[in-house]
Amino acid sequence: MVYPIVKYGETVLETKAATVIDFDTPELNKLVDDMFESMYAAKGVGLAATQIGIGKRIAVIDISVGEDPTHKIVLINPEIMAKEGAQTGEEGCLSIPGFREQVTRAQKVTVRAQDAKGETFEITGTDLLARAFLHETDHLNGMLYISHVSPLKRDLIRRKVRKLQKAGEWG
Ligand SMILES: [Zn+2]
């Protein structure tokens, strides 16, 4: 099932998501499958549960955008363990469509998480994958990428979004 993506302005996006306690349940497996489906439908490389209105610490990532199943990553209760270096590049978010900003992030990131069975694992990514780990983990902490841009740019985005909301052109 494809969920609609929750847009910037909804409280769930700026609320810390709850730790997942029950693993290996049909509900969790279904939710993870639906999250991949929703992410591919929206042509994203990452999706946090909060972006479909579910306040649970679950994120899915696939930097191949569905081209290579070995790239599918499920992060449940993720925690950033290590960050190294820096990269600056354009970042966007499915919840803030139509906007992209330069964001500086660590170049190499190690994350510890659980899979849908509850097994703990660590994974290290560089470049886009490192960026995705940070972006999605931020989401689960109620933080959006625009909190990493200058206050001036953030205000500009907020104002543009407000205009779109008033015009009924924002979900
Ligand atoms: Zn996002």
Query: Which one of the listed residues 84, 91, 122, 136 is annotated catalytic?
Result: 136
| pTM, full prediction | 0.97
On the question of pLDDT at 171 being above 80, the answer is no
pLDDT at 13: 98
Q: 93 C-alpha to center of ligand 1: Å? A: 4
What value does the mean pLDDT take over residues 62-71?
Answer: 94
For residue 154, give the amino acid letter.
R
Q: Would you call 120 helix, strand, or coil by DSSP? A: strand
Q: What is the mean pLDDT of residues 157-171?
A: 94
Q: What is the pLDDT of residue 144?
A: 98
Above 90 in pLDDT, residue 81?
A: yes
What are the pLDDT digits (tens) for 12-44? Answer: 999 999 999 999 999 999 999 999 999 999 999
Predicted confidence (pLDDT) per residue in 108-134, tens digit: 999 999 999 999 999 999 999 999 999
SS3 68: coil
Q: Are 48 and 100 in contact (CB under 8 A)?
A: no
Distance 50 CA to ligand 1 centre (A): 9
pLDDT of 65 reads 92
Task: Report CA(97)–ligand 1 centroid distance (Å).
Answer: 10
DSSP annotation of 47 reads E
Residue 108 CB neighbour total at 10 angstroms: 17
> What is the β-pairing status of strands 87-91 and 108-114?
unpaired
Tell me if residue 45 falls in helix, strand or coil. Answer: coil
CA distance linking residue 76 with residue 58, whole number of Å: 4
Told to judge if 136 belongs to the known catalytic residues of this protein, a careful annotator would answer yes
96 alpha carbon to ligand 1 midpoint, in Å?
8
Give percent of the chain above pLDDT 90: 99
Dist. CA 145 → ligand 1 center (Å)? 7
- Please state, in angstroms and rounded to a whole number, the distance separating the CA atoms of residues 51 and 25: 21
| Secondary structure of residue 57 in the 3-state scheme | coil
Average pLDDT, the chain: 97
CA of 139 to the centre of ligand 1 (A): 7
Ligand 1 center–CA 13 separation, angstroms: 9
